[in-house]
A = this chain, B = another copy of it.
């Protein structure tokens, strides 16, 4: 092979076109042409509500009361001990688990939670699975850990996990499976029944293959559920070999501050060795420690959230209107995405057509599933209201 002045796979990643980014940038150009108020950009999954006031209250208090060298100094690589203790207690209180501070590893957000976990467990030759549709960075993270991603096709009716397809595709090389509920991009919450059946399959396959199959619960949207009847089961209670990858990006509206954690379930086989491998992976990837002030901020704001009622209002408004206009919408129990069947087989063509009505939607292809679009409703309610006639006209244009 010719000498490469750079890592070809990293160059490819750095240059890879992103339909989400491209759509967002199109929206910015279009806003300059016709005015921001006339463009309905539903492309980005960024929290649109402010952090709760208590976050800034904590920051001010920390600055007033804490020695600067302590406040802004390195914490232990795994996170400050009082922070991990508080996080573990909060989890135990909410989910009846028996997690301790030594099962928690504080991270620089959800992406870091995933890359550190994957690097800790995946060996060359291993496969990691996930269910379509899925957050496209899963493929990037798994391949960076020198392993292979296998995608289980979607259940196009319910968008629950397709367990029949899972059983057909799982192999002895399967080391881990990433589960994302509430789900990006569909907004679906996997039911307890679906999850229990899934865990039964994993246990059966663990026994058959004679090695652990890790469940990686990617849960940044855990708190974003809108109906009192919706339950998001805590996976360490259903399956022993579970990691929880969490981030406060969505619950506290702090996505830029890069703060989250990994739970290595204490019920996991070889829990101490696996936790040590997590520490080694964090070190190898260059994380050192999660941002120190942000660690203390979240520890002081456990159980709090940004005002998530806006998302619920947006969901109801959008779901009801689009359903009325004749769109097939998957009912979103959580997250801030509405998953809608495109009005023609090619979701990309449908999204281009939608641009004629200044509607910026993301086609489903990049999520590993054809024929749908993702509508991110983490926007102002007022923009949704103004966009409804455009959605109506778009539907009419297909009649």
* Interface set of A (CB-CB < 8 Å, partner B): 3-16, 46-51, 55-56, 59-60, 63, 67-69, 71-75, 108-109, 111-116, 119-123, 137, 140-141, 143-144, 210-212, 253-258, 269-270, 273-281, 283-294
User: Which single residue of chain B is at the shortest CB-CB distance from A247?
Assistant: B288
Quote the shortest CB–CB distance from A313 to chain B (angstroms): 17
Task: Report whether A119 and B10 are in contact in the complex, using a CB–CB cutoff of 8 Å.
Answer: yes
Contact of A280 with B51 in the complex, beta carbons under 8 Å = no
Tell me if B47 and A114 are in contact (CB < 8 A).
no
Q: Is the CB of B283 within 8 A of A285?
A: no
Indicate whether A258 sits within 8 Å of B6 (C-beta atoms), given known contacts A69-B47, A280-B11: no
Q: How far is the CA of A120 from the CA of B284 in the complex (A)?
A: 15
- Verify B288–A111 contact, CB threshold 8 A: yes
Whether the Cβ atoms of A287 and B5 lie closer than 8 Å is no
Q: Are B51 and A72 in contact (CB under 8 A)?
A: yes
Q: Given A14-B278, A273-B5, answer yes or no on A258-B50 (Cβ-Cβ < 8 Å).
A: no
A-B contact pairs, 5 of them (CB 8 A): A6-B274, A16-B280, A141-B284, A256-B292, A258-B258
Number of copies: 2
Contact of A254 among B55, B72, B116 (CB under 8 A): B72
Shortest distance between the CB of A324 and any CB in chain B (Å)? 30
Q: Check A283 against B46 for contact (C-beta < 8 Å).
A: no
**Of listed A119, A210, A276, A285, residue having the most chain B CB within 10 A:** A285
A144 contact set on B, CB distance < 8 A: 284-285
Whether B121 lies near A14 (C-beta < 8 A) is: no
Q: Which residues of B lie under 8 Å from residue A15 when comparing CB positions?
A: 276, 280
Contact (Cβ within 8 A) A49 B63: no
A256 and B278 CA atoms in complex are apart in Å by 20
In angstroms, Cα B290 to Cα A389, docked, is 39
Does the CB pair B5–A212 fall under 8 Å? Answer: yes
In the complex, the answer to whether A13 meets B283 with C-beta atoms within 8 Å is yes
CB distance from A183 to the nearest CB of B (A): 20
